[in-house]
Structure 1
Amino acid sequence: MPFQRIQSEKLSSSVVRQIELLILRGILRPGERLPSERELSEKLGVSRPSLREAVADLQERGLLATRAGAGIYVGDVLGSAFSAALIKLFAAHDEAVFDYIAFRRDLEALAAERAARLASDTDLKVVDTLFRKMEAAHTKRNPADEAKLDAEFHLSIIEASHNVIMLHMMRSMFELLREGVFYNRQVMFKQRTTRDMLLDQHRAINSALQARDAAAARAAVEAHLNYVEASLSDQQKSERNEEIARQRFEHEQSR
């Protein structure tokens, strides 16, 4: 017969599974510090030896990491998504920029469509809260905060789609965007007209999601990233034209 005796699970195994799920679902993020051993053992209702056994297991698998004198942190689980060589290759070729935008357009449009159907009311409150923060940051002269919130807004939609594979893939992609591997996002927010257009586009995405209109949410994301693509193309052309004009000017001065 295929039956086996039921065995009670070790407490440390229960702790491992709970922390694994928090990381998998994107609730605990890479680099996030865990509570102290005493506090965490109290929250989980387990002894410190059981907690230490669970932490050791998770550390061995790279999901947690210890920093000397600073505590325990979630491991850099996104770091292995792309090799260092591939990241450098992305940064060296403009072609990667537009492939990246196309990739985002396809996946984020799908995520928005899913979020409109599957997100909980709390998920949509998070999306709306981030948009309201974007509106507040929009009034500031320095675009840094608005650019940062832009990434958080998009990631909140992916979180609301409740697909953990998509979540971790896109977090990795946005981490590269934050590092300027594909393009400098703050450049997009420098011109007031562009900032106004981007805010209107995010407003359209948010409104469609709050209305749970899947088709409109998908279309709004696609329209937004089409605009980003066109703006970056224009920016690259402008930079090339400026370089040619500078060379012409220097030549005329030397004659």
Structure 2
Amino acid sequence: MPFQKIQAEKLSTSVAHQIEMLILRGILRPGERLPSERELADRLGVSRPSLREAFAELSEKGLLTAKAGAGVFVADVLGSAFSPALIQIFGSHEEAVFDYIAFRRDMEGLAAERAAQYASDTDLKVIATIFEKMEAAHPKRNPTDEARLDAEFHLSIIEASHNVIMLHMMRSMFDLLREGVFYNRSVMFKQRTNRAQLLDQHRAINDALQARDAQAARAAVTKHLDYVEKALSDQKTAERNEEIARLRYDHEKERN
């Protein structure tokens, strides 16, 4: 008969599995510091030697890293998504910007559709809370804060889609965006018209999600990223025109 004896799982293996799941679900994030050894052992109800054994297993897998005198951290597991050479190419070629927006439009549209269908009530509360922060930040006119909340809003939707592959892939992409590899996000918030329309677009996305209207959520994301694409295209055209105008101006001064 094809039966085998049941073997109890080692405590350290159970601990390692729980931490892996928290990383997989995006709850523990790259660079995040874990609680102290004593605190975490108490929370998990295991001995400190069992916890150390789990840490060693996860460190060997490249999921955790220990820093002398600082503690144990989630490894930067997203850092290897793109090579440094490829990141440099992304930053120096204009077409990468628009390919990136097209990719986001497809992926985030799907994520919004899934979130409307599969998000828990708590997921939707998280999205609504971040949008409320966006509304509160709007009168303060701080491009850095608005850009940060914009990224958090979009990532909260991806988290609510409950697809771990999409979550980690898009987190990696947003890290590059946050670093200005694709474009400087804060530029989008400097113009009054852009700021008002961007807030309205995020409101439409949030409203559709709260209503659990999958088609409307996807359409709202598509409309938003179409606007971002056009705004960036207009910005780049304006920059090129200004460069030509400066050349004309410098030349005109030399003629005098």
Task: Please give the per-residue CA displacement for 1:129-156, whole angstroms capped at 9, x wherever unaligned.
Answer: 0000000111113221111000000000
CA contact (8 A) 1:109 1:219 kept: yes
Q: State the shift of 1:118 in Å.
A: 0.3
Q: Distance in 1 between matches of 2:6 and 2:108?
A: 44
Alignment of 1:44-123 (within 5 A): 44-123=44-123
Aligned-partner residue type, residue 173 of structure 1: M
User: What is the distance in 2 between the residues matched to 1:143 and 1:97?
Assistant: 20
Q: What is the CA–CA distance in structure 2 between the aligned matches of 1:138 and 1:170, rounded to whole Å?
A: 25
Query: Which digits, 9 at most, give the CA deviation of each residue in 1:50-92, with x for residues without a partner?
Result: 0000000001111001111100000001001111111011111
Between the aligned partners of 2:38 and 2:247, the Cα distance in structure 1 is 65
Give 2:69's aligned amino acid: G
Read off the aligned partner of 1:140 and give its amino acid letter.
K
Letter of the 1:198 partner, please give it: L
- Matches of 1:37 and 1:139, distance apart in 2: 43
2:239 counterpart letter in structure 1: E
* Runs of 4+, deviation exceeding 2 Å: none
| Maintained 8 Å contact 1:137/1:143 | no
Separation in structure 2 between the aligned mates of residue 98 and residue 2 of structure 1, nearest angstrom: 56
Q: Which residue identity is paired with 1:185? A: R
Gaps of at least 5 residues in structure 2 are: none
2:152 match: secondary structure: helix
Match of 2:193 in 1: 193
Give the corresponding residue for 1:216. Answer: 216
TM-score (norm 1): 0.99
- 1:148 corresponds to which residue? 148
- Alpha-carbon offset, residue 185 of structure 1: 0.3
Q: Does 2:102 match 1:135?
A: no
Q: CA deviation at 1:3?
A: 2.0
Q: Which amino acid aligns with 1:121?
A: D
Q: Which residue is equivalent to 1:24?
A: 24
**Aligned residues of 1:24 and 1:164 also touching (Cα < 8 A):** yes
- Alignment TM-score, normalising by the size of structure 2: 0.99
CA–CA distance in structure 1, aligned partners of residues 142 and 110 of structure 2? 32
Deviation per residue, 1:89-131 (Å, 9 max, x gap): 1111000000000000000000000000000000000000000
In structure 1, C-alpha distance between the alignment counterparts of 2:51 and 2:227, rounded to whole Å = 50
C-alpha distance in 2 between matches for 1:2 and 1:22: 34
Question: SS state of the match for residue 139, structure 1?
Answer: helix
- The SS at the match of 1:181 is coil
2:235 alignment partner AA: Q
RMSD: 0.5
Structure 1 gap ranges (5+): none
For residues 175-218 of structure 1, the C-alpha deviation after alignment (integer angstroms, 9 at most, x for no partner) is 00000000000000001110000000000000000000000000
| In 1: Cα distance, 2:8 partner to 2:214 partner | 44
- Partner of 1:180, secondary structure, is coil
Q: What is the number of residues matched between the two proteins?
A: 255
**In structure 2, distance between residues paired with 1:7 and 1:210:** 45
Secondary structure of 2:58 counterpart: helix
Tell me, yes or no, if structure 1 residue 181 matches structure 2 residue 181.
yes
**Could you tell me which amino acid in structure 1 is paired with residue 29 of structure 2?**
R
